[in-house]
Amino acid sequence: MAKYIINGGSALNGQFFVQGAKNAVLPLFAGALLTEEEDVIQNCPDLLDVDNMARILRSLGADVERHGNSVKIGGTLSSHEIPYGLAKELRSSIFLLGSVLARLKKAKVAYPGGCDIGLRPINIHLDAFRELGVKIEEYYGYIYCDATAMQGAPINFDYPSVGATENVMLLAATARGLTTISNAAREPEIEGLQDYLNLMGAKITGAGTPFITIEGVDSLHGAEYTTIPDRIVAGTYLMAGAICGGEIEVLGAKPSHLHALLSKLSKSGCKIKVNNDNIYLRSDKRIMPFDRVETQPYPGFPTDLQAPLCALASVANGNSMIIENIFETRFKHIPELIKMGAQIIVSGSVACIRGVEQLRGAEITAMDLRGGAALVLAGLNAKGTTIVNDVHHVERGYQNFEATLCSLGADIVKV
Ligand code: EPU
């Protein structure tokens, strides 16, 4: 398994363009299955998760071709079964249930895998499908769906699940009649999916608000769409700038998508400037602590940035409290940070962090995607050498992570 070797202590300086958003592009791939015509997805990040999604699409009969950051998807679906081996690699395979059902009126999918950050049930997806008239049976770890009697319906989510909102949009775009989603998730990736599906001929409004309306159309056609920038990747690099000191500029980002983080970083003493699609950060002293940060659905503080924030709070000048409200087991980076000298006490979903002056190098292991990125940030700050094992987790979401950090002045190699 690959690892990063990091010699910490260098400041980060320079600018770079942020990649397209993983969590936006995965549902777009599912959306491309809604038509046989060719779709072109631009600004598609080159990541393990995206490769795995492409493999699943091919196993269903679709043609998927990548040329640089542009991916073409088309072709007739020949299978309604998403294989177990591929689904367990990728949680987002669950989106394919909506798309395959919309196209073939039946689907078989294994329970999805993905990062081990919590129970991650799919009851909200399946309950909504039932409201839309889909018959569902579950046995031997597979879900069998029949959508021959599917039609639009009003749906109310108990919780604004990102994936369930996207899945219902994918299924209902071509269902007969009107579907409404109340208490929909409001993440920018959902607006991205709405824009893409509407370019394909769908009639969806309201994404970005808690109430989405989907007027079913008979069919969709091919379209070309540019993926939105990755707010979580942009946020991770900004925190890398804050933990190392220096001046960095993230180009091609959407600052409005990062409001919750930017206001925390400003309050902690970082100098932040926003100029159209660019975000500049300067950090020239030890940051102030974060009194209390709670992860929340968008526009609250994103759970995907909680782990990097823990690394940053570990070297703040005072005590911080970080509360993880979204996933049950998303603190696996904390024992590893403690090996590096961080002073953190966890009680349930609450982490109390007493900042130390500097972390110290250690051999540690990435347990999941964002937690792994947090350990890299910690290693960049630490005195001495840090070895981060199992960085394949990190590469599921960060394109050219170590090369980009090196271009900013970090001393990090992958072996
Ligand atoms: N939940 C249920 N039942 C469901 C669906 C969700 O109880 O049917 C619970 C989950 O267990 C979790 C909470 O609701 O506790 C939030 O889950 P949500 O469905 O909103 O998340 P997701 O769609 O599974 C996406 C991102 C995650 C990100 C979350 C929250 C993708 C591919 N994944 O997951 O990204 O953390 O939204 O913002 O879009 C990552 O990139 O590292 C990552 C994990």
For residue 303, the CA-to-ligand 1 centroid distance in Å is 9
Residues recorded for the chain: 415
Tokens 């070309």 -> residue: 224
Structure tokens at 65: 């071709």
At 363, list the tokens. Answer: 């051999």
Q: What are the pocket residues of ligand 1 if the criterion is a CB atom closer than 6 Å to any ligand atom? A: 23, 26, 91-92, 115, 118-125, 159, 161-164, 185, 302-304, 326-327, 369-370, 397
To the nearest 10°, the Cα dihedral for 127, 132, 133, 136? -30
In this model, does residue 103 exceed pLDDT 80?
A: yes
- Give residue-wise pLDDT tens across range 113-154: 655 777 788 999 999 999 999 999 988 888 999 999 999 999
161 CA to centre of ligand 1 in angstroms? 6
Q: Are 190 and 181 in contact (CB under 8 A)?
A: no
Residues labelled catalytic? 115
pLDDT reading at 84 higher than 90 = no
pLDDT one-digit tens code per residue, 245-302: 999 999 999 999 999 999 999 999 999 999 999 999 999 989 999 999 999 999 999 9
Residue 391 has what pLDDT?
97
Q: Say whether pTM exceeds 0.95.
A: yes
Which protein residue has the closest C-alpha to ligand 1 atom 33?
23
Task: Give me the residue label for tokens 């920038």.
Answer: 229
Give the pair of three-digit tokens for residue 43.
């600004």
**Mean pLDDT for the chain overall:** 96
What is the percentage of the chain residues whose pLDDT exceeds 70? 99
Task: Report which ligand 1 atom has the smallest distance to the Cα of 370.
Answer: 42
What sign does the CA torsion over 200, 206, 210, 214 have? Answer: negative
- CA distance readout (Å), 319 to 285, 300, 355: 16, 21, 6
Q: What is the pLDDT of residue 83?
A: 82
Going by alpha carbons, the residue nearest to atom 6 of ligand 1 is 161
pLDDT tier, 92 (very low <50, low <70, confident <90, very high otherwise): confident
Distance of alpha carbon 167 from alpha carbon 184, whole angstroms: 11
* Closest ligand 1 atom, residue 23 Cα: 39
In this predicted model, what pLDDT tens digit does every residue of 333-361 receive, in sequence order?
Answer: 999 999 999 999 999 999 999 999 999 99
Question: Would you state the CATH architecture of domain 22-226?
Answer: Alpha-beta prism (3.65)
**How many CA atoms within 13 Å lie on the side-chain side of 323?**
7
CATH of domain 3-18+233-414: 3.65.10.10
**Cα distances (Å, whole numbers) of residue 334 to 98, 387, 401:** 36, 16, 21
Give the number of C-alpha atoms closer than 13 A to the C-alpha of residue 145, restricted to the C-beta side: 34
User: For residue range 181-227, what is the model confidence (pLDDT) as tens digits?
Assistant: 999 999 999 999 999 999 999 999 999 999 999 999 999 999 999 99
Q: What is the mean pLDDT of residues 365-378?
A: 97
Confidence grade of residue 373 (pLDDT, cut at 50, 70, 90): very high
Q: State the pLDDT confidence band at 401, using cuts at 50, 70 and 90.
A: very high
Rounded to the nearest angstrom, the gap between the alpha carbon of residue 408 and the centroid of all alpha carbons in its chain is: 23
Q: How far is the CA of 304 from the centre of ligand 1 (A)?
A: 10
CATH 3.65.10.10 intervals, the chain:
3-18+233-414, 22-226
Q: How far is the CA of 54 from the centre of ligand 1 (A)?
A: 21
Dist. CA 120–CA 109, nearest whole Å: 16
Q: Which amino acid residue places its CA nearest to atom 13 of ligand 1?
A: 326
CA distance 6 to 240: 13
The model's pLDDT over 301-339, given as tens digits with 9 standing for 90+, comes to: 999 999 999 999 999 999 999 999 999 989 999 999 999
Q: What is the pLDDT of residues 3-44, one digit of tens each?
A: 999 999 999 999 999 999 999 999 999 999 999 999 999 999
